[in-house]
Chains A and B, each alone.
Chain A
Amino acid sequence: MDTDALIAHSRARFDHAVARRLLKEKYQARMLFAYRGGMWRAGPELQTTLLTCPDATAVILDLYENPVQVDTKELYAQSQQRWQEQMNAWLVEHEANNQRR
């Protein structure tokens, strides 16, 4: 890219509203993970469901509404780890976007 194009880019206004949506889409996709043949979305909803299960194992529905027998503590730990990793990365990008004019 030549200098003129770079200058033109720097003068254009950064679209913050759309950038937020873009980040949301990007990180929603990154919350997905496979476990015991099911597909799960890491986040509070899954983790709250797992916390309501008193036993070590439970059968719950995955994203595709297939029943899967899970180890509740194991799945909770995986979900929590992925959720926090991705939320942290999301925050870093969000703050970098906020610095743009």
Chain B
Amino acid sequence: MTRGALVFAFNNEQTDYVAMARWSAGRIRRHLDIPVAIVTNTDPGDPRVSGFDQVITSNAASGGTRWFEDYQSTVTWHNAGRVDAYNLSPWDHTLVLDADYVVCSDALNRLWDIDTDFLCHRKAWDIKTGQALDGLNTFGQTKMPMWWATVMCFKKTNVSQYIFDAMTMVRENWQHYRNLYQIDRATYRNDFALSIALGIVSGHTNLVDEIPWDLASVLPGTKLEQLDHDYFAIEHTSDNIRRTLGMSGTDFHAMGKSHLEKIIAAC
């Protein structure tokens, strides 16, 4: 059974996701020792995508625009193509990672040994506070449980195909599902589509196999710096005290793209 990582990267007005994916690919190879494929609209002959094992060309599918706190601007969000991961993946067993997911350990290698078709994170927590991201672990006015599409591990099986097909159905009928789940935001979001799809495929039991640890996250308002290859520091102010925290060997979701871009530019 072949296995590898799949990273989606479509640049927008503000963020160079291809550079982010390239940086990420190096970390994935180093820690997980698996090949990395990029899904992008960048020309395969472009030197910026030369570092990937496979370059899969796809059109940028916009899910709308989104306000990014760290950029203080609204940018186009080319996120709607993620539902094609099942069809685009060249591997039998695929790890789909956001370009802004920072791999610092081999923890994700444990997922290959789990005897299940599809895995993702159920809960995220904020590294700054050590607390669960309660506001982001649910969606819609009825606070439906949210599964995160940041990391998805799937085998090419019927169950996985049903999940991605259901995500496609949600994307193509986004307005309907927005109304049904009472989602305020107009912008399509993969996490919402995945959560709705998992609800449908599980027969609305929400009994879903999940990654057996929570998703560590650095929010956009938190300053992030890289002090060594796998040693990152966050810095924030609370109670008028500047606080720092160093972390090594912990994978995390860097939700503040601007901080991550600075780190990558400095490499």
A residues contacting B by CB (< 8 A) are 1, 5, 9, 11-15, 17-22, 25-26, 28-30, 32-34, 37-39, 41, 63-64, 66
B114 in contact with A34 (CB, 8 Å) = yes
Contact with A along B241-263 (1 / 0, CB 8 A): 11111110110000000000000
Residue B213 is within 8 A (CB to CB) of chain A in the complex = yes
| Chain A residues whose C-beta falls within 8 Å of the C-beta of B114 in the assembled complex | 34, 39, 64
11 contacts between A and B (CB under 8 A): A9-B227, A17-B130, A18-B128, A20-B130, A21-B130, A22-B216, A29-B213, A34-B113, A38-B115, A39-B110, A64-B115
B244 in contact with A9 (CB, 8 Å) = yes
| Chain A residues whose C-beta falls within 8 Å of the C-beta of B235 in the assembled complex | 9, 12
| Chain A residues whose C-beta falls within 8 Å of the C-beta of B247 in the assembled complex | 22
Closest chain A residue, CB of each to CB of B129? A18
A22 in contact with B214 (CB, 8 Å) = no
B250 in contact with A22 (CB, 8 Å) = yes
Per CB-CB distance, the 8 closest pairs between chain A and chain B, nearest first, are: A34-B113, A21-B130, A12-B244, A29-B213, A18-B130, A12-B242, A15-B243, A15-B245
Q: How far is the CA of A25 from the CA of B105 in the complex (A)?
A: 13
Known A-B contacts A12-B242, A18-B245; the reply to A1 vs B225 at CB < 8 A is: yes
A32 in contact with B212 (CB, 8 Å) = yes
B residues contacting A by CB (< 8 A) are 105, 107, 110, 113-116, 125, 127-130, 209, 212-214, 216, 225, 227, 233, 235, 241-247, 249-250
Q: How far is the CA of A33 from the CA of B128 in the complex (A)?
A: 28
- Give the shortest distance, in Å, between B38 (CB) and chain A (any CB): 26
Total inter-chain residue pairs, C-beta < 8 Å: 75
Q: How far is the CA of A20 from the CA of B127 in the complex (A)?
A: 11
B107 in contact with A30 (CB, 8 Å) = yes
| Chain B residues whose C-beta falls within 8 Å of the C-beta of A14 in the assembled complex | 243-246
Closest chain B residue, CB of each to CB of A9? B244
A37 in contact with B115 (CB, 8 Å) = yes
B129 in contact with A39 (CB, 8 Å) = no
B107 in contact with A29 (CB, 8 Å) = yes
Closest chain A residue, CB of each to CB of B209? A64
- Give the shortest distance, in Å, between A41 (CB) and chain B (any CB): 7
Q: How far is the CA of A25 from the CA of B115 in the complex (A)?
A: 23
Known A-B contacts A12-B242, A25-B213, A26-B249; the reply to A33 vs B129 at CB < 8 A is: no
| Chain B residues whose C-beta falls within 8 Å of the C-beta of A33 in the assembled complex | 110
A39 in contact with B216 (CB, 8 Å) = no
A34 in contact with B110 (CB, 8 Å) = yes
| Chain A residues whose C-beta falls within 8 Å of the C-beta of B244 in the assembled complex | 9, 12-15
| Chain B residues whose C-beta falls within 8 Å of the C-beta of A38 in the assembled complex | 115
Known A-B contacts A18-B130, A22-B216; the reply to A64 vs B250 at CB < 8 A is: no
B212: contacting residue among A11, A21, A63, CB under 8 A: A63
A18 in contact with B127 (CB, 8 Å) = yes
- Give the shortest distance, in Å, between B248 (CB) and chain A (any CB): 8
In this complex, the member of A13, A19, A29, A34 whose beta carbon has the largest number of chain B beta carbons within 10 angstroms is: A29
| Chain B residues whose C-beta falls within 8 Å of the C-beta of A26 in the assembled complex | 105, 249-250
Known A-B contacts A1-B225, A28-B213, A41-B212; the reply to A22 vs B113 at CB < 8 A is: no
